[in-house]
Amino acid sequence: MVLILAVVVSSFSFLLSFIKILKRFIFHRVILLLFFIFGVFANIFILSFTSDLIILLLIGSLILNIYRYKLKGEFSAAVGFISLTACPFLLIFKKELIAEKVAIWVYVFLAVGIIQILVKYIKEEKKSVPK
């Protein structure tokens, strides 16, 4: 009985230390950024289907990257506009599925960029109003 209890306790402590190391690795700044970039490219070019869950997970990763790297709304909007220029060329070359996925990400980047700009504007308005 004591041996079983010792094995359970040691397994639990190993699991806790493993989770702590995994948490530090997963939420590392560079790993999170690479996860987002490779995730978007995999979603666009590799996956042959559109999954709302994957897009939601990658949007969460985008928001974490914006928070971690202190990215401005103009950056998100610029990425959206740059990606928008790829859509006509993809349609010309008969890559409709890829063009549709790029258009989804254009919308996400533009929406996130506009929300960031609005939040920044509201914060500046609150600071400038005299009390």
Q: What is the pLDDT of residues 85-104, one digit of tens each?
A: 999 999 999 999 999 999 99
Nearest-angstrom CA–CA distance, 99 and 85: 10
Average of per-residue pLDDT across 39-48: 93
Q: What is the DSSP letter of 49?
A: S
Domain boundaries, the chain: 2-128
The model carries a pTM of 0.77
Percentage of residues of the chain with pLDDT beyond 70: 85
What the block records as the tokens of 28 is: 């590392």
CA-CA-CA-CA dihedral for 19, 22, 24, 27, to nearest 10: -120
The residue assigned the tokens 């509201």 is 122
What is the number of alpha carbons within 13 Å of residue 74 lying toward its C-beta?
Answer: 2
Helices and strands, number each (H, E), in the chain: 6, 0
